Structure 1
Amino acid sequence: MKCFSTLHWSIEGEFDECILVWHLATDLCYNTDLNKKSSLAKNSNREASKLLSDYMVYLLVKRPLMLPPGIGQIRFRDSCAKAAKIFQTVKDRNIQACTRLLLQVNTEIPPLKAKGDGSKSVLLDACRLAKSLQSLESEKWNNEKKWEMMSHVWVEMLCYAACHCPRNEHAKELTQGGELLTHVWLLMAHFGITEHVCQD
């Protein structure tokens, strides 16, 4: 997709960082779009993106050994701490108020300068990505097209994670019924697409 070249920065970091940036941006877009009258209709790509986003963060936090090595739990903790600091300034802490506040965060400041204290938070990058994704709608894209692209990103992340999960972790999961990630890996292997998708 042509516009994705402008968002390429969001998938160039470490895998756990990309998951968190996209998860937070997906949440921001999801909550913003639920408040739009035009977005009240059921959108399967929006719902799929939200579910995959939540699942990938579940793996990052609860099943980190199933993902490529990284510092995802540290990034998650620091991003939560940064969000909590921002939300302290909001009297009304409902989802809509918090979403509006995050989308007003100044993303012009490079994240390294804004962090300053060695924080591994990805919150500023996520706000920047969410703003970019929301602006796609004003650039000849409709809401449906935006969510279609976002769901493709999440499916690619899921497939990448399935291929890069250590096989012993997949085996462990199979003894307990199997994680979705393991079932995806098995399906990919069955259809002979693991080599194509799993190349770095």
Structure 2
Amino acid sequence: MRPSIMSTLVGLAKIRFQDTLAEAERLFARNPLQPELEDPDKKACEIIYGVNTDIKPVQLKGDRSKSVLFDACRLAKELNKFGNRKWVLISKVWVELLSYAATQCRPSAHVELIGKGGELITFVWLLVAHFGLGHCFQTTTVAKLIAGK
């Protein structure tokens, strides 16, 4: 809805979404849902959770597919090991992701949105700035070139 506040990585996210959708369509073509016999949402979750995740997708397909479906299956299985504590972990990860995303947007885009009522990410940006936490989400890449060896 607001491309001005999105990262330049949106193109990659779109490719990942398309590959993941195609992977899910193939999975459900092999395991069709029967809505008249069962709860389709519950059955879909069971099918996805039942995927064999012993072999990483990158070992099967290399880097051709950008799908995250099977990585998500592996993550779901790992999270289930935490029991009810998984929700605490998930909430912390979401706060961190949202805070990081808020600091990656141009400040002028946030300021423009405040006049229109704002977006959640803009209010998170304001909180991060107010509490002086922006430095926690900055990333820098330092490359050293060593010549002559």
- TM superposition shift of 1:67: 3.6
Match of 1:100 among 46, 49, 53: 46
TM-score, normalization by structure 1: 0.60
> What is the letter of the counterpart of residue 100 of structure 1?
E
Summarize the alignment of residues 31-180 of structure 1 with structure 2, pairs less than 5 Å apart: 62-63=1-2, 65-70=4-9, 71-88=12-29, 89-92=31-34, 94-115=40-61, 118-137=64-83, 143=84, 145-180=85-120
* Runs of 4 or more above 4 Å deviation: 62-65
CA contact (8 A) 2:102 2:125 kept: yes
* Greater Cα shift, 74-83 or 84-93: 84-93
TM-score by length of 2: 0.78
Task: Name the aligned partner's letter for residue 163 of structure 1.
Answer: T
Greater relative contact order (Cα < 8 A, sep 6+): 1
Q: CA deviation at 1:154?
A: 0.5
Q: What residue ranges of structure 1 are gaps of 5+ in the alignment?
A: 1-61, 138-142
Unpaired segments of 5 or more residues in structure 2? 140-149
Q: Distance in 1 between matches of 2:52 and 2:5?
A: 34
SS of equivalent residue, structure 1 residue 106: coil
Cα separation, 1, equivalents of 2:18 and 2:79: 24
User: Between the two proteins, what is the percent identity of the paired residues?
Assistant: 44
Aligned length: 132
Aligned twin of 1:183: 123
Q: Is the 8 A contact 1:115 1:121 kept in 2?
A: no
- Structure (1/2) with the larger helix percentage: 1
Q: CA deviation at 1:87?
A: 1.3
C-alpha distance after superposition, 1:111-145 (max 9, x if no partner):
213345822111110000001101222xxxxx1x2
Write the distance in 2 (CA, Å) between the matches of 1:113 and 1:63. 37
Q: Which amino acid in structure 2 is aligned with residue 66 of structure 1?
A: I
CA distance in 2, matches of 1:64, 1:122: 23
Distance 1:100 1:67 in 2: 33
Residues 165-187 of structure 1: per-residue CA shift (max 9 Å, x gap): 12232133223211100111012
CA contact (8 A) 1:90 1:98 kept: no
Q: Whole-Å Cα distance in 1 between the matches of residues 18 and 96 of structure 2? A: 25
CA gap 1:168/1:156 in 2 versus in 1, 3 angstroms: same
